[in-house]
Structures are given as structure tokens and as C-alpha cells.
A = this chain, B = another copy of it.
């Protein structure tokens, strides 16, 4: 059977940040029709076992082999769901799938492949805290497993100069304890000590923990691999209330302010 006329398909889906109420109906339908679920062990375990469903869990950093396995299964006529946390297109399995597709068997290109979006950690964390990404922003993976550290630092400096709000994935792991220390140093230097920084850990799960502080007060230990970190632009504001304050970045930038975007914090007092 060739790929073209088989009944197999492959969907790369986002399970959202953790809570079931954040999984889209489109993704739930794909999971209910699947014969195989493929992914990193903790994400595969989020899919309940049922008769007729084979769950293939694999280790972290196995992304390309996992993608090849999924493509092979779909080519054999299976209905395969590759699961990511959050959204599959943001530092997750969709890019790995297309890397494997481009390098792999020519007939894989005829497979029925879809990517189904999910609520990313970034959007979930932003919602919980208010609207810190309410104006122009950037999103950077702080892991230097797959890119040189110099590129990360270069992007941090240019993002500060552009006065973007920033969202950071994979800030810190046991294998890379120093990178986030250096990130905080670069951000303090470029954005100033008063700039708001937010730590959103495991949003929508029982382990959720939110911290809002300033770059001057922040320490590397406030983040781990389950933490999404955000830094405000010079315009980002705090609204005090009981508990964690609201954080938002206004939609407007005044003519007079925009000329002062030097990358150092000349903006609103948080």
C-alpha cells in the first residue's frame, strides 16, 4: 500500500498547558479517533488509555526519532497523533516533524498530515497575569542545546533595544544552570533593574505558581524547566491587588515615548 491511498493520517497536536478545559474540541476529536499516540512520556500520559489505542512514550531529546516513528506508523495506515504540551508549533514537535519529513522517505510527503494548534504556555501564562503581551512582543527559547549561546544573547540585546515584551521558554535546567543567570544579567543591563519580570510555573495545573517581581529582585532559582518567564516592555504596568498584581502592556505608545526606546528603562514605573 502506498502512502497516497492508505487510510493512515498524522496529526501533530497541542494539549495546552495542562488543564483539560484548555484542550480544543478539535484536538479531543483527533485523540478519540487515533490508533497511536506518540510523544514525550509525560505528555503521552496525559492521554487516557483505552482499548485500540497504543501509547508510545519516548524520552526528551528524542524528537527526530519520535517524528520518524510517527511518520512510519502513518505510512503503515495507522491514525497517529503526536502530542506536544502547549502549542505544537512553539518550540515543540511540529518543527521536528517537518525536519524528519524533509529528510525522510519521499513517499512520506504524500501522507495526510495536519498540525492542530493548542493554547501555548505563553498565552496561558499571559492570561493568568493579565495582558503582559498586549503589545508587540518576542518569544525566545533560552536553551542552548540546539543553538549557540552567543545567538541567544544577541537576540536578548536586540529585543531589549526594540522594546519588545518578551516570553522565554526553557529558562533553566539542571544541565544548564548558568544560562539563566547570564540572561538576567543581560536583561538588567539593557532594561534596568525596575523592569517587571514574571515567573509562571505549570499554569492551569495543581502545581501552578505565579511570581511577579523586578529584574533587580529576580534570581535564577525562581525558574525551572516548567516555568514560562516573561519580561515587560518599558511600557508594561502593574495594577496592585490582593495577591499577585495584574500586569499589562498598554496598546498605545505615545509619540514622545517611542523616541526614547534606547533599550534602557525610561518607561512607566511599575
- Contact flag A131-B95 (CB < 8 Å), given A138-B139, A251-B63: yes
C-alpha spacing A261/B21, complex, angstroms: 41
**B residues within 8 A CB of A197?**
none
Chain A: number of interface residues, binned into ranges: 35 or more
Are B117 and A148 touching (Cβ within 8 A)?
no
* Chain B residue, CB-CB nearest to A152: B136
* Chain B residue, CB-CB nearest to A113: B246
Q: How many copies does the complex hold?
A: 2
Are A101 and B239 touching (Cβ within 8 A)?
yes
C-alpha spacing A147/B164, complex, angstroms: 13
| Chain B proximity of A172: nearest CB distance (Å) | 17
C-alpha spacing A175/B91, complex, angstroms: 36
**B residues within 8 A CB of A186?**
none
Residue A141 lies at the interface, judged by CB distance under 8 Å to chain B: yes
Residue A7 lies at the interface, judged by CB distance under 8 Å to chain B: no
Residue A109 lies at the interface, judged by CB distance under 8 Å to chain B: yes
Residue A116 lies at the interface, judged by CB distance under 8 Å to chain B: yes
Residue A124 lies at the interface, judged by CB distance under 8 Å to chain B: yes
**B residues within 8 A CB of A16?**
24
**B residues within 8 A CB of A132?**
89
Are B250 and A117 touching (Cβ within 8 A)?
no
* Interface stretch (choices A52-60, A153-161, A212-220): A153-161
Candidate in A16, A113, A139 with the most chain B CB atoms within 10 angstroms: A139
Are B135 and A95 touching (Cβ within 8 A)?
yes
Enumerate the 6 nearest inter-chain pairs by beta-carbon distance, A residue then B residue, closest first. A95-B134, A94-B131, A98-B248, A138-B138, A21-B26, A158-B162
Measured CB to CB, the residues of A under 8 A from B are: 16, 19-26, 29, 63, 87-92, 94-99, 101-102, 109-110, 113-120, 123-124, 126-128, 130-141, 146-148, 150-151, 154-155, 158-159, 161-164, 237, 239, 241, 246, 248-253, 255, 258-259, 261
